[in-house]
């Protein structure tokens, strides 16, 4: 899903009340005062007092002998401070351990004034209090801020909203005239837009619903994989309804301070009521709305308090105000059941991955504004991107544009889009990742096996491209494009899928006589498909029509918070393992038989891949069609030689 790029003036932040400004200013003033007092008491004396020059005891005796000293003050610890006859000061230290009487005699002879001083160890009470004053100021500030936060949390969204304003919501508020996104900017998803249009109708004219006693939806939960455009749909609803749009993420509610999340919920809904009719959009609501009682510390845990406040606010809605809550998540199974009950989130809107027609429309939106080669068919590009979300398609077009710039061109071609698709699916192609000659032949045989089995299986998707150029972690790739958008997969399709997955390993066994580590990813994928066939789809004769959708999964929690593990016994697990191994083994035997039957085509295709490195689906079919004729010519040559 995507839209055309649009921009508007930045949202205007909500005005703060005078009390909030005064409270915030008082906190700042107290903090500045505490810092200033601390600096003055600790570093003040050093700032305005220059230290006197320090003399050794020998230098002190010399100064006294030359009659330069006017007065000295001697402390009980031997510290000496004094002044010269020119008025300058000095300091020294007596070697009290020596007990030298020379200084006393010299001071008397030179008429130096001598004064005694007490030790500084017995400081006054005032000095002690001044030393602790900065810490007392900080403790007092913290106590005042804590009391202020308690009054704020008890009184709702008013006041300061917690320490430093933490209790205020962090919602981005877009006023009624600001949203420019409309449903026309959202490509595809006509069914989803039709379902969510009722919210728009209710916000535009709630009196229509009140006239017949109907109530509009209180909450709409949009569920879908990442990148499908849930946030874009919410903005389109706000744009169509022309109402204020308050957007916030679920993680923005939770802070390290207990009670702050609940305060932010109250503040958010208070803002919405003041601007009613309005829309509250909570993105990734599973961050705050997951089930209670799992992995927490009880009812006093911050996330649970925030969720409880959210439930209470949604219960307290006045339907006449026209406030609707939209939420988005890609993990609906983790949400608390109390959040999903009617009266809170009345309906769920599923936003699935786009189908082929919708992908073509999304590509057209992203291509808009770029120069596109006339030969590019967006329908073909859409057919080659099954499972892509709107965000994936936007990335695909951007990668194609980057590839165009890299080639010093300004027009996007089909080759650019194909290279971008390979870049997204396989990773960056590294030209320096050269293969050894024997590895190159092994990869060519492996990929030829995949392509040939796919061409020979009736229900397999047709081959689009085969390459042995390394990209990302893959040494080669065989790309298949589905002819139609499938919703159901018959057993015949899954059996052919297993055979194609094991075609590379089978080709190595047929041509090289041994398997290699190159089939590791194929084996993992085939095992995953076989596991679903046995445990979920009921396609195993040994187990019958029984589905174990959670079989083999790690221990998880059910709706009541209780833990459970594998839903079947060890004996059943043994049967499951045997059936998975049987399906994979049968697929390998089938692939080997097909390749042995068409050995000449396999050799010709592997040789062409080794020489040309990349082949399209038409080349694979041409090799397969030419193989019987080549076999007949070879047989005729052998018969002629025998005669």
Active-site annotation, residues: 447
Of 355, 621, 610, 628, the residue nearest 463 (C-alpha): 621
Characterize the bridge pairing of strands 463-467 and 172-174. unpaired
Distances (CA, A) of 18 to 24, 25, 141, 158, 461: 10, 10, 21, 11, 68
**How many Å apart are CA 41 and CA 137, to the nearest integer?**
13
CA dihedral 30, 31, 33, 35 (to 10 degrees): 160
End-to-end CA distance of the chain: 69
Of 246, 331, 244, 323, the residue nearest 284 (C-alpha): 331
Of 164, 167, 497, 561, the residue nearest 338 (C-alpha): 561
Phi and psi, residue 136, nearest 5°: -65, -40
**How many Å apart are CA 619 and CA 641, to the nearest integer?**
32
**How many Å apart are CA 218 and CA 232, to the nearest integer?**
20
For residue 55, list its beta bridge partners: 92
**How many Å apart are CA 248 and CA 288, to the nearest integer?**
12
Chain centroid offset of residue 276 CA: 32
Characterize the bridge pairing of strands 219-223 and 347-350. parallel
- Six token digits for residue 219: 């909450």
- Longest Cα–Cα distance in the chain: 146
**How many Å apart are CA 456 and CA 624, to the nearest integer?**
9
For residue 172, list its beta bridge partners: 247
Of 368, 280, 246, 247, the residue nearest 2 (C-alpha): 368
């Amino acid at each position: 899903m995507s839209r055309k790029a649009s921009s508007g003036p930045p949202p205007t932040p909500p005005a703060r009340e005078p009390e909030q400004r005064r409270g915030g200013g008082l906190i700042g003033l107290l903090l500045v005062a505490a810092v200033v007092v601390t600096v003055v008491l600790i570093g003040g004396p050093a700032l305005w007092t220059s230290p006197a020059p320090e003399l050794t005891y020998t230098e002190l005796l010399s100064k006294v002998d030359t009659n330069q000293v006017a007065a000295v003050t001697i402390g009980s610890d031997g510290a000496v401070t004094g002044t010269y006859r020119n008025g300058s000061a000095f300091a020294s230290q007596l070697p009290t351990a020596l007990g030298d009487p020379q200084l006393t005699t010299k001071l008397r002879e030179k008429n130096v004034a001598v004064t005694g001083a007490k030790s500084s160890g017995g400081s006054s009470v005032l000095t002690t209090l001044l030393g602790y004053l900065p810490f007392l100021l900080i403790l007092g500030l913290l106590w005042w801020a804590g009391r202020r936060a308690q009054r704020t949390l008890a009184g709702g969204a008013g006041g300061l909203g917690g320490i430093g304003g933490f209790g205020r919501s962090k919602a981005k508020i877009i006023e009624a005239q600001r949203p420019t996104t409309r449903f026309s900017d959202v490509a595809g998803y006509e069914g989803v837009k039709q379902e969510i249009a009722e919210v728009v109708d209710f916000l535009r004219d709630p009196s229509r619903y009140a006239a017949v006693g109907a109530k509009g939806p209180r909450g709409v939960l949009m569920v879908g994989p990442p990148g499908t455009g849930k946030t874009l749909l919410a903005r389109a609803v706000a744009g169509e309804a022309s109402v204020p749009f308050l957007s916030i993420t679920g993680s923005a509610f939770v802070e390290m301070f207990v009670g702050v999340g609940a305060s932010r919920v109250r503040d958010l809904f208070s803002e919405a009521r003041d601007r009613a009719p309005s829309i509250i959009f909570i993105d990734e609501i599973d961050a705050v709305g997951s089930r209670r009682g799992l992995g927490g510390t009880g009812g006093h845990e911050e996330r649970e308090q925030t969720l409880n406040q959210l439930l209470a606010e949604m219960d307290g809605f006045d339907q006449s105000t026209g406030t609707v809550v939209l939420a988005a998540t890609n993990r609906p199974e983790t949400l608390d059941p109390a959040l999903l009950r009617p009266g809170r989130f009345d309906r769920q809107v599923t936003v699935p991955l786009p189908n082929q027609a919708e992908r073509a429309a999304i590509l057209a939106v992203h291509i808009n504004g770029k120069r596109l080669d006339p030969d590019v068919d967006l329908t073909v590009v859409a057919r080659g991107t099954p499972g892509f979300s709107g965000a994936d398609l936007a990335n695909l077009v951007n990668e194609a544009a980057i590839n165009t710039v890299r080639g010093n061109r300004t027009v996007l071609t089909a080759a650019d889009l194909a290279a971008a698709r390979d870049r997204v699916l396989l990773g960056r192609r590294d030209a320096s990742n050269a293969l050894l000659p024997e590895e190159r032949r092994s990869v060519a045989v492996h990929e030829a096996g995949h392509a040939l089995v796919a061409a020979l299986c009736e229900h397999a998707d047709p081959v689009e491209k085969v390459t042995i150029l390394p990209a990302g972690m893959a040494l080669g790739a065989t790309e298949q494009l589905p002819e139609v958008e499938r919703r159901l997969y018959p057993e015949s399709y899954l059996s052919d899928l297993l055979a194609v997955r094991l075609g590379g390993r089978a080709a190595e066994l047929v041509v090289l006589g041994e398997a290699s580590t190159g089939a590791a990813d194929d084996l993992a994928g085939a095992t995953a498909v076989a596991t679903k066939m046995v445990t979920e789809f009921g396609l195993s004769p040994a187990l019958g029509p029984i589905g174990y959708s959670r079989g083999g999964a790690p221990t998880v929690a059910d709706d009541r918070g209780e833990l459970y593990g594998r839903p079947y016994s060890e004996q059943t697990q043994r049967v499951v393992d045997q059936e998975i191994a049987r399906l994979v083994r049968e697929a390998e035997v089938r692939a080997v038989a097909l390749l042995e039957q068409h050995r000449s085509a396999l050799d010709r295709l592997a040789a062409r891949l080794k020489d040309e490195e990349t082949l399209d689906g038409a080349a694979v079919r041409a090799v397969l069609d030419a193989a019987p004729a080549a076999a007949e010519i070879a047989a005729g040559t052998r018969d002629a030689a025998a005669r």
